[in-house]
Amino acid sequence: MELYVSENGRGKDLSLLRERFNRAALAAAASIAALFIYAAAVEWIRGVYDPFQGFADYEWFPRLQTFLYLLGMFNILLIRYVVMRIYTAPGTADMETIATRLFNADTASMLLSGLPGLYGLILFLLSGDLIDFYMLFGLSIIYCMIYLPRYRKWISVIEENLTD
């Protein structure tokens, strides 16, 4: 059992926090792995169907492309909104509630960080353009780096909310 002693000498049991953090880190790893599975699928499709021209040729594709790029860019606002809603949900300020909120917020932000990569995969499958995929894949990687769960952040949130 892990015990954290604050500056004022009072101890807090952080084994629950560590267990929730490990689960959030596992969810983050799965989200990042999914992005690289998308990249592997893109390269495999490109190799098998050389030259790959996409599975659809629609006149509305430029509108869809613009829409998905905008969704990818504004995804950061969606992540911030979802995280804020999770943090400000009504409830008590005990260790279990805070650990659950931290887990939910970090898991949701990592899952939402992968959406631009999925948009890029959709655009690649429709048009066959690698630039669409890799631009949105890179945006997903940047979001994942920003919202990767960090244990120090979790500790600081616990210290702020559980001051005796």
Which contacts of 45-51 are long-range, i.e. CB under 8 A and separated by 24 or more positions?
45/124, 45/125, 46/130, 51/128
- The model's pLDDT over 101-136, given as tens digits with 9 standing for 90+, comes to 999 999 999 999 999 999 999 999 999 889 999 999
Min mean pLDDT across 6-20, 30-44, 111-125, 142-156 is at 6-20
Q: What is the per-residue pLDDT for 11?
A: 47
- The model's pLDDT over 82-100, given as tens digits with 9 standing for 90+, comes to 999 998 888 888 888 899 9
Extents of the domains making up the chain: 3-161
Nearest of 88, 79, 89 to residue 145 by alpha carbon: 79
The yes-or-no verdict on residue 8 having pLDDT over 60 is: no
pTM: 0.84
Residue 44, number of CB atoms within 10 A of its CB: 10
Contacts of 155 (CB under 8 A, 6+ apart): 4, 14, 17
Q: Are 142 and 75 in contact (CB under 8 A)?
A: no
Q: How many percent of the chain have pLDDT more than 70?
A: 91
